[in-house]
Amino acid sequence: MFIQRCKNCSKEFQWKTIINSIWSGYKPIECDNCKSKHYPKFIYRFIVALSIALPIFFSQFLYGIFKTYLFIILAYIIWVLVVVSIAPFYFRYYIKD
C-alpha cells in the first residue's frame, strides 16, 4: 500500500490531494509538478462507495451491539472517516490519452 505517483513525472501525490478529490465526488487530480490530469479509476470509486455502504447491510446486527441510534450514527461517522483516510493508499488514477 502506497500513495500513487504521477504517471507522467513520478512525483508522489499528497494524501490530502487525494482526500480532497474523494470528498468532492472523485474529482480528477492535477500533478503539482507537471500539471497532468489524473482521473480516478472506476473500480476504486466502487470499492470506496461499497465500503462506506457496508455497515448499512449489517444495521440490524449493529443495532444489537450499539443499542441506540446515537451510537450507531457516531460509529458510522467514524467508519466513514476511517474508510476515506485509508483510501489514498490504494486508490489509483489514470491519465486519459
Q: What does the binding site for Zn ion look like in residue numbers (CB under 5 A)?
A: 6, 8-9, 11, 31, 33-34
Q: Which is nearer to Zn ion, 7 or 84 (CB)?
A: 7
Phi-psi region of 26 (alpha: psi -120 to 50; beta: other; left: phi over 0): left
Nearer CB in complex with Zn ion: 18/31: 31
Minimum distance, C-beta of residue 59 to Zn ion, in the bound complex (Å): 43
Give yes or no for a contact between 83 and 48, defined as CB atoms under 8 angstroms apart.
yes
Which CB, 5 or 67, lies closer to Zn ion? 5
